[in-house]
Amino acid sequence: MRFFLIFSFCCFTVLSQRQYFDHKFLTIRTSLENEKVLKELAQKLDFHRFSSRLNGKNLILLKPHEIEKTKDLLKKNGTTFEIKDVGYIKYSGKGIDYLSTRGDFNISTYNDFDLQMESLDSLTQKYKRKVKKIVLGETFEKRPLVALKLGFESKNSKPSIFMNAGIHAREWITSSSILWLINELLSNESYKEFLKDLDIYIAPMWNPDGYQFSRTKERNWRKNRRFYEDPEDEEICVGIDLNRNYPFKWKHQKCSNENGSGPVGGSELETQALMKFLTKNKDQLKGYIDFHSFGEHILYPFAYKKHIYPTNVEELKLIGKKMQKAIATVRDTEYDLINIADGMYPAPGSTADYAKSIGIRYSYGFELVPDGKHGIDGFNVPDTEIEPTGREVLAALRVLFERIIRDDEKTSLNQKTRTSMHL
Ligand SMILES: [Zn+2]
């Protein structure tokens, strides 16, 4: 009987997953002639990969009603393209095992949200002196928005960094590799010095509603799961792109688009919770990173418009290059270092822009593995990639941690010198 129940549960989960037989994958190589039309399409269609490099590959998932319209537009523009069937998007790694909510948390696979949260609870129990759990808010479906604060207690005020993953539901590798990284930072004694000098806030899953939906109903889901009525759309909208919802240079984008940005900037509970935390702690916060997949890029702001950069852009590029080199030491992976709007496409209302706009010195986005060369479906990363991806991110973070700590030492030294001069 037990076997039967388990079997039924597994099969139900798989069969209720959305199938993609009626969708198509469109690939287009970037050229001087099609650059403009690609950027226009990127505002409307579901780009799995966007490349602004000449001859770079763009991969777009077309919904049934978009197929003919897009083909016509591209033909009119003289753009060559390839169209392929999608069929059922297969899971990599351990098949259906990781869709189950049964069993214990396993660091080497894609755990469901409840198991992720349980793992954070056990880490806070195990490493009491090094870590605290904080709940920053709640989602539309009443799931908690949780961050860990890694760092030893200190009498002096410490600089800090905030990082979040999983803001886009289908980008599973982000939260799993960040969970691996949290374990490593806590269990490996060689990171002790960082925890003495720095408070590291990490939120491994910032869109739990969307994530659970992508596990059980639609693997390709990107947004959150809030329902609302958009005046420009004729139907009730489900889901808002949380990386377009921040009230810095926010721009309305229809909810029927993959980048639907919500009725107004800052409308979403996830956005509000992050804004509240970042603004409250902005004096201490020196770094911010938003983890996405895929493409293998280190991204710096601004995202909202091309050719607009923060005043410390040279510094961001310099640290970015060092992070790039550090990543390559792990297993020769070559990340690009690009500005979000120039290298990809304008993304108004993004988290990295918002963090920068409130004065956080080092604000970045990361697009993790893969680079798009290993198969077309880049969100389904085999779970064997979780640990090496975590190692690569950690190598990059060491660079940023060291920089923030060094800046802080310099500032305190200057303050001390100034104080002694006044004496
Ligand atoms: Zn993303």
Average pLDDT (297-309) is 97
- CB neighbours of residue 52 within 10 Å: 18
Instruction: Compute the average pLDDT of residues 315-324.
Output: 98
Distance 325 CA to ligand 1 centre (A): 23
SS3 48: strand
Spatial distance between the Cα atoms of 109 and 93, rounded to a whole number of angstroms: 8
| pLDDT recorded at residue 96 | 37
Q: Give the active site residue among 218, 270, 296, 367.
A: 367
pLDDT band per the 50, 70, 90 thresholds, residue 98? very low
Domain ranges for the chain, please list them.
20-85, 103-411
Confidence (pLDDT) at 18: 60
Query: Is 367 part of the annotated catalytic residue set?
Result: yes
- Number of C-alpha atoms within 13 angstroms, CB side, residue 68? 1
pLDDT digits (tens, 9 = 90+) for 12-34: 344 456 656 678 888 899 898 89
Most confident of 57-61, 125-129, 340-344: 125-129
Tell me if residue 362 falls in helix, strand or coil.
strand
Helix or strand (DSSP H, E) at 394? helix 386-422
**How far away, in angstroms, is 217 Cα from ligand 1 center?**
19
Q: Using the mean position of ligand 1's atoms as its centre, give its distance from the Cα of residue 164 in Å.
A: 11
Model confidence band, residue 257 (pLDDT cutoffs 50, 70, 90): confident
Task: Please tell me the distance from the alpha carbon of residue 115 to that of residue 307, in angstroms, as a whole number.
Answer: 42
DSSP H helical segments within 269-312, as ranges?
269-280
Tens digits of residue pLDDT in 382-399: 888 999 999 999 999 999
CATH for the 103-411 domain, from 3.40.630.10, 3.60.20.40, 3.40.50.800, 3.40.1030.10: 3.40.630.10
Query: Smallest Cα–Cα separation from 344: which of 46, 54, 42?
Result: 42
* Residue 289, pLDDT score: 98
With a threshold of 0.85, does the pTM exceed it? no
Position 36: which residue type?
Answer: K
Q: Each residue of 258-284: pLDDT tens digit?
A: 889 999 999 999 999 999 999 999 999
Topology adopted by domain 20-85? Alpha-Beta Plaits (3.30.70)
Burial 21-49 (b: 16+ CB within 10 A, else e): eebbbbbbbbeeebeebbeebbbbbbbbb
Write down the mean pLDDT value for the chain.
88
The neighbouring-strand residues paired with 292 are 367
pLDDT at position 57, please? 81
Q: Compute, in angstroms, the gap from residue 330 CA to the centroid of ligand 1.
A: 23
Q: Which residue has the tokens 């989602």?
A: 139
CA count, 13 A, side-chain hemisphere, 157: 9
Tell how far the Cα of 318 is from the centroid of ligand 1, in angstroms: 24
Instruction: Please provide residue 154's backbone torsions phi and psi, each rounded to the nearest 5 degrees.
Output: -145, 145
